[in-house]
Structure 1
Amino acid sequence: MKIALVGLGRTGRIVAEYLLEQDALAMVLCKPNSLSANSDLGELLNIKPTGIMLETTAHLEKKLFHKKPDVLIDFSSHHFLKENIHTLAKCGVNVVTAVTEYDRAEIEKFKALADKGNIGIVMAPNITYGVNVLMLMAEIAAEILGDYDFDVFEEHHKYKKDRPSGTAMKIANKIRNGLATQKEIPEHVVRAGGIVGKHKVSICGEFDKLEISHESFSRVAFAQGAYKAAQFIAGKTGFYEMSDIFDSERRQRRQHAVMHPKTIELEKEDPA
């Protein structure tokens, strides 16, 4: 699988390093006015030369046809996909976008294009696997503890622009999905220092309190999630979210357990 990457900010650079380690990175794109354009990626990452030159998004169609990436991972801004989604579809390049700034009209546009069967898109503002587990647990808690009060807390570094984060809003929506009746889900935001990312759900009743939390210690967690999403969407069409990837892996594990029960038992008996 050949991957293109756009967006080399705080997280994008970690993603680039991770994809290099997986020997999957084939192309890196930057803004037309970027000072890093036409330089080796290694210079930006302060590592040895990689042989991958930073290319601007100008004449994108020609560049995609030349490099032929299978999937593009987007850690830039909502402008890139908004302006280039039709070019990506034309060139047969699927997309994993971790951008959180899309408005409803943009998301509907991407869904409609993916539903035509020309392109596969994973929209993943919640790119880490751990936070998807938190969402699942929060939704289950809402189904069981519907008379409790739910609050969503999220913390990120001081440079993060959106407040609340796309992930925090997704968590709140998952809680609403689990509740039998609609109620307010307050979202509390902290932007400070170099916090990588932390989300917490507080579930408070009259006599007890439950908390579910997830914290990213390193941006490598985002890179791992993006790479798994790219592996999932390669060769597919349609519109997906990280929850779809998560559910797919759960089904695969269950099928494996049914088909190979003896293997599972042996693993339990001899974990070494």
Structure 2
Amino acid sequence: MRILVLGVGKTGKLVAEVAAERGHSVHVLDAKENKDAAALTAPFVAGFDIIIDFTTPEAVVSNMRACLATGAKMVIGTTGWYDKLDDMKSLAERRGAALLYGTNFSIGVQKMLDLAKKMSAALKDSGYHFAISETHHESKLDSPSGTAITLRDAVLETIGSNNEVPIHATRTGEVAGIHTLEAIGHGDRLLLTHESKSRRPFAEGAVRAAEWLASRTGVYNVREVFDKL
């Protein structure tokens, strides 16, 4: 496939490397080359089979508007833009485009979310309450992380949305990502933790998602399809 990667941060660079390793033709655009999505003209976008975005919350919406309007296929690994999700879904559906988005493309994280639902279901009637902590590198812009919010949603889906599940976010050093769900009882505490040792699982998941999406149209959350990637 011909893949366009938007964003040359640490994850974006790794996405490009993984895509090339898997035999795809890759072109990368950085922020200077694509200010306000100016590079994403219809003829340029038409030269690619799929687009993977790992930019910033400020840039990603403009990128989606430009690309989805042409009927393009996009995998969005950027988080922090979900207040515009309904608009982007509508645009993709009107234009016959394809959009696959998610807060985390790591298969390990997706399995953690499943385990979090089982853990909270098992403990919800036993006097436990739940909290989440997450730690990321200093350059991560959104806080709390999209993954932490998704984790909270998974717990609330099980214990009821009227409950409180606080999130504590820390930004320090070069941490790729640590997420912990804590179940706190009267005399004990249970922890479910996912620790990323590198960004490679995110990159590999995003490229596999692009390969899956290439033959489809419509709008998908990675939570719905991760077991097919």
Using structure 1 for the length normalisation, give the TM-score: 0.76
Taking the aligned partners of 2:90 and 2:23, their CA distance within structure 1 comes to 33
| Partner residue in 2 for 1:95 | 74
Q: Which amino acid aligns with 2:93?
A: D
- 1:60-98 per-residue CA deviation (whole Å, 9 max, x = no partner) reads 222123x2x221000012344422434423443211111
Kindly tell me: are residues 6 and 184 of structure 1, through their superposed partners in 2, closer, same or farther at Cα, counting changes over 3 Å?
Answer: same
Partner secondary structure for residue 4 of structure 2: strand
Instruction: Give structure 1 regions of 4+ aligned residues with deviation exceeding 4 angstroms.
Output: none
Contact 1:151 1:202 in 2 (8 A): yes
Provide the C-alpha distance between the structure 2 equivalents of 1:180 and 1:95, rounded to a whole number of angstroms.
Answer: 33
Give the direction of change, closer, same or farther, for the CA distance of 1:31–1:161 in structure 2 (3 Å limit). closer
Identify which of 189, 194, 208 aligns with 2:188.
Answer: 208
Matching residue within 103, 106, 109 for 1:128: 106
* Counterpart Cα distance in 1 of 2:25 and 2:133: 35
How many angstroms does 1:102 deviate by? Answer: 0.3
State the one-letter code of the partner of 2:61: K
The 3-state SS of whatever aligns with 1:178 is: helix
Closer/same/farther in 2, CA of residues 114 and 193 from structure 1, 3 Å limit: same
Deviation at 1:149, TM superposition (A): 1.1
Deviation of 1:31 after TM superposition, in Å, equals 2.9
CA contact (8 A) 2:76 2:102 kept: yes
Contact 1:14 1:223 survives alignment (8 Å): yes
Task: Summarize deviations over 1:251-272 as a string: whole Å, max 9, x none.
Answer: xxxxxxxxxxxxxxxxxxxxxx
Cα distance in 1 for residues equivalent to 2:171 and 2:31:
26
Partner of 1:15: 15
**1-structure distance, mates of 2:217, 2:57:** 21
Aligned-partner Cα distance in 2 for 1:83–1:173: 27
Equivalence for 1:186: 166
SS at match of 2:202: helix
Q: Which amino acid aligns with 1:27?
A: H
CA deviations 1:159-182 (Å, max 9, x no partner) are 112111111111111100011462
Tell me the distance in 1 between the aligned counterparts of 2:31 and 2:191: 42
| 5+ long unaligned stretches in structure 2 | none
Deviations 1:201-260 (A, max 9, x none): 1112224322111111111111111011112211212211111122446xxxxxxxxxxx
> Is 1:168 matched up with 2:156?
no
Match of 2:202? 222
Paired amino acid for 2:77: A
CA separation of 1:185/1:30 partners in 2, compared to 1, >3 Å: closer, same or farther?
Answer: same
Give the percent of matched residue pairs that are identical in Structure 1 and Structure 2: 30
**Structure with greater Cα Rg:** 1
Shift of 1:117: 6.3
- Equivalent position of 1:238 in the other structure: 218
CA distance in 2, matches of 1:70, 1:197: 30
Alignment partner, residue 61 of structure 1: 42
Higher mean Cα deviation, 156-165 or 114-123?
Answer: 114-123
Shift of 1:144: 2.1
2:123 maps to a residue whose letter is L
Does the aligned pair in 2 maintain the 1:73–1:95 contact within 8 Å?
A: yes
Q: CA deviation at 1:116?
A: 3.5
TM-score (norm 2): 0.89
Report if the CA contact (8 A) 1:123-1:242 is conserved. Answer: yes
Per-residue deviation, residues 178-204 of structure 1 (Å, max 9, x unmatched): 114621101111111111111111112
User: Which one of 63, 73, 95 corresponds to residue 52 of structure 2?
Assistant: 73
* 3-state SS of 1:132 partner: helix
